[in-house]
Amino acid sequence: MAEPAHPKVKALNGTLQPLGGRSTVAEQQTNPALPSRAKNSVGSPNDTAPPPGQTLTGKQEHYLKRELLSRQVKYEISELASTTALQRFGAPFRSDYGEVAPVDSELPILRYIFVHHVRNFPFLDRAREKEFWQDKLQVFLEHFAEKHISSSEDRLEETKRRKLAMKAEKLVELMMVSGIPTASGYEERIRFSELEVVDAGANEQGLLVNAPEGHAINGWDVNVAGVRTTSIKRTVRYHQHAEFIIRVRQAGNPEFYVGRRYGDFAKLHKKLRTELPGKILAPLPRKNRSSTQSTFLSLGGDDDASSVSSVSTQNTTTPDGSVESGSLRHLMGHRRSISTQHSSPRVSGEHSRESRERVILYREDQRVSLRAFLRTFLQNEQIAKSKAMQDFLTANAIHPNEEEFIDIKRRKDMDQKRIEEQQRFYEIARQRARELDVYMEKFRRDIVESNGLSKLFKEIKDKEKIEDLTIEYQKFAEWLRIEVAATIYHLFLAEDNSPELFAQAKRLHSMIPYSALRQVIRFANPAAVMSGVLDLFLAQPFGARSLAQRAFGMTLNDGIKSFQKSIDAMAIKINDPVLCEKLRIFVNSPEDLKDSIRASAVSDDVDLIVAILRSDEIPPELTSPQIGTVFNAYVAWINAVENTDDSMKAGASLFANLKQLLKMYTRQRDKACMLSLIEEPVTLQLFRDLFTIFYEPLVRVYKSANVYSSVSDFSTFADDMFTVLAQAQRQDVSADPNQTVQSFIDLCARHQDNFYKFVHEVHIHDNGLFTQIMGWLEGILEFLRQGPRGGKLDMNALFQGAVDMSSIDRSAAIAEINALITWQEARKKWHQDKTRQKMAAEHSSSSALSSPPPGSNTFRSSDFGLDEADVAELRDSEAFESGDEDEEEDSDEGVDPIVVERKRRVRRQDHLRRTAGEPVKPVVKELEGLREGFLSMLRMVLAE
């Protein structure tokens, strides 16, 4: 690595390592999880001889194929950013090189996916080759590539395009590795049967998030534990208000309580908006004054302290903090209606002192809604560490009295009973689903066999009622009833935020004019309406800009102007027009010059700002004092980031402002590029064509299937669902779970015929659209199960041919393949251990919800041609990589650059901590000699 340009920077090299860098060869050799040579390790792939007549073992074949396919997929997806990418696809895209045959395509994998799984999609198969694919889509994508929108490296953050590209890369690799077989038939993967056991228990989270305690989130274990009433004197009279008692516990500290009114939660929400501008915050639950009746056991006969409502036992607090006993009238006013006792209806043939009491839990629904609200906020690390949250959870601690502790105990018991009921509900639903296993297995075999999906939809199309379906499909409908019932229960009853969701859904349902909507849908012509709306927005009278262009342009122009104001303000802070101009010229420079300066920054191990400002290729040239100022600011920046005492923060402000200015210039240029892209006529033409291609077939189905009649059916279902939910809410938590389960299953059974009628009518009048969609899906499944029609990859012939032609050294290549196998094996074991550790840390107690939901194991990835080991490896590669980066990066706008850099390094350290001990992929050089031969073979296999 080249020496930094400044001696002070040289001493700080250790702080400037690039993010996510690979370990050196020396580090690989010292990694205990990965032996340096596979042939010297126990259980080495070399311990197994190749089958007769073969050069490679089954595992060597597979992991050689996987490595070569992975490299090719990475190359092809990276090439999509090139302006000539589509020209190298071949038909239907035009090319300056003439017709590109499939065997000559530089991007054979993406060409195959496009030709077989994109172009023949039931909507896009009607698009014309020249008018749509060449003159519109190709032109638009080439223009977009020419804009060179900023990348992740420019912004020092993962852009959404980068994340999508990485996800697409993994999925395409999985598809190709599972779909393209090897010719020998001996292909073999590393398998760990115990991995399935680990994955089966990965859903242990279940309802434990609703537990009253033991659920720490970012260092805070909080629970809205109780509710008390307080009296506040306004003018003459005292006014009573509900105050929620919050139990707070932090690691290593004793628990304590704070009291907060609903208005305090609203103030917290407002303060967080001020402290974290731009942060997307969950809405505050609506105020809910309803109370909940519940039955509790009372041991030892009459006990006034335990037989009265939590409302009636609350002392009131005057403004000066003293406890007021003058609320006797309030207490007596509730005793008559809530302190009645009766013997337990469940006691049969027993005579005990056990009695049951009806208790009103004041503002119970509001309590659990606010708990869900708090815990949702605490899941974001930035919010959990904010000053507003710190003050809200710690300021003005209180000491609950005896009656309030009784209320807290009751609500804790209520939470526990609620969780136990939910566990029993799911267990009963799971047991009923298991009774269908025999039929579901037959249904699975029918679906996964050839043309199984087409047979299913043909059955739906031919049979008018569920009763007419074959027994396997009827049982599948019964399984669906259980699944839908469990989903409704989970959404509207099981979660802490269920009361809020239930109230919102019911309110929305009451506002929708279903009758008017039904008539509008029945008599309106949606095709004509949408065509007219489309013409209104996309018409360009006399060549002027369309309404859509004006709307998009106005939004982008506002963004550009907003950035310009921020840029002008930042330039005043920097107070050096030469430095600002140099950054602006860099942002608008050609891409080859930008790449050269970025490479210089990496090679010299300096920040991009330093590389830009010292470059002679970008005018204007800096003077010696300016260069010294920049480097001193750079050194101060490094120290300010590394040291939290902020002693050098003032000196680093110049460099921090320069970094912020570069980011502003970059984003302003991005918006300008997008504006120019929208202004181009081809963009509107492409939008119109896409809308027409996808909308018109659906409109034809919509009109012929009389969809309007389903509006009334949905309204009836919603009315019935809210009635069942309200009844379940009124029931005591000790109600029979069998009855609760059955009530939700009966709800689904009452309306299943209307739903099936809708699906049946749509399929009758689909004009073959759904049949085409099923054929398209089965084409993908056929590739995954059988591979491409062009043949298989003969990895033995490829390897032996390269050895015979001296393209590779046999022993070195075998050693690299074996090292890859050993690395994959060590990586699987490492991931298994990390998963077990994570589960042990997060779930200290077992739960009845630890097993998967009913029916979740009905289908397996192998049923659809995806090898389960390949799917497990894909999950392994994505594990421990995401964290909270998405949320953190979204909130970086407008934050101090030093704070942003510290957060970025904290995220990096967190990633390193989560991946500590992960085996490092060995260096692969010798296998590069197989690339050309493999590419030729891959083209032949995919050329159809």
Residue 423's Cα: distance from chain center in Å? 26
Q: What is the pLDDT of residue 802?
A: 93
Q: What is the pLDDT of residue 359?
A: 72
Alpha helices in 136-202 (DSSP H): 139-147, 152-155, 160-179, 194-200
Q: Are 64 and 817 in contact (CB under 8 A)?
A: yes
The β-bridge partners of 553 are none
Q: What is the pLDDT of residue 748?
A: 92
Question: For residue 317, what is the enclosing H or E element?
Answer: strand 316-317
| Backbone phi, psi, residue 94, to 5° | -80, 160
Question: For residue 310, what is the enclosing H or E element?
Answer: none
CA dihedral 856, 860, 866, 872 (to 10 degrees): 70
Q: Are 776 and 473 in contact (CB under 8 A)?
A: no
Q: What is the pLDDT of residue 195?
A: 39
Q: Which two tokens stand for residue 785?
A: 């199960």
Tell me the average confidence (pLDDT) per consecutive run of 10 residues in the chain, 944 residues long. Answer: 38 33 37 37 54 88 93 89 82 77 85 88 82 87 82 52 78 89 86 42 42 74 87 76 88 86 90 76 79 57 38 40 36 33 37 57 82 84 86 90 88 81 76 72 72 79 88 85 85 77 85 83 68 73 76 79 85 89 90 89 88 88 86 85 65 84 88 85 82 76 72 91 84 64 88 89 78 83 86 92 92 93 84 64 40 50 64 58 42 59 68 67 90 92 85
Name the 3-class secondary structure at 370. helix
> pTM higher than 0.85 for the full model?
no
CA 109, CA 576: separation in Å to the nearest integer?
51
Find the angle CA(213)-CA(216)-CA(220) to the nearest 5 degrees. 105
Name the 3-class secondary structure at 355. strand
Nearest Cα to 635, choosing from 3, 10, 214? 10
Q: Are 381 and 884 in contact (CB under 8 A)?
A: yes
321-329: which pairs have CB atoms within 8 A and are 24 or more residues apart? 323/401, 324/231, 327/229, 327/231
Name the 3-class secondary structure at 293. strand
CA 642, CA 159: separation in Å to the nearest integer?
26
CA 130, CA 136: separation in Å to the nearest integer?
8
CA 225, CA 407: separation in Å to the nearest integer?
8
The β-bridge partners of 259 are 245
| Backbone phi, psi, residue 357, to 5° | -130, 145
CA 503, CA 757: separation in Å to the nearest integer?
30
Question: For residue 244, what is the enclosing H or E element?
Answer: strand 238-250
The β-bridge partners of 233 are 238
Q: Are 104 and 939 in contact (CB under 8 A)?
A: yes
DSSP annotation of 17 reads P
Nearest Cα to 807, choosing from 923, 933, 922? 933
Q: Are 110 and 86 in contact (CB under 8 A)?
A: no
- Residues in Cβ contact with 466 at an 8 Å cutoff, skipping those fewer than 6 apart: 474, 477, 752, 753, 756
Q: What is the pLDDT of residue 719?
A: 93
Q: What is the pLDDT of residue 32?
A: 39
Q: Which two tokens stand for residue 907?
A: 């995220």
The β-bridge partners of 360 are 293
Q: Are 126 and 693 in contact (CB under 8 A)?
A: yes
Nearest Cα to 533, choosing from 546, 519, 545? 546
C-alpha distances out from residue 361 to 134, 307, 411, 649, Å: 68, 12, 8, 53
Name the 3-class secondary structure at 732. coil
Q: Which two tokens stand for residue 594?
A: 């930008």
Find the angle CA(466)-CA(470)-CA(472) to the nearest 5 degrees. 100
Alpha helices in 643-768 (DSSP H): 649-679, 681-704, 709-730, 737-764
CA 243, CA 204: separation in Å to the nearest integer?
33
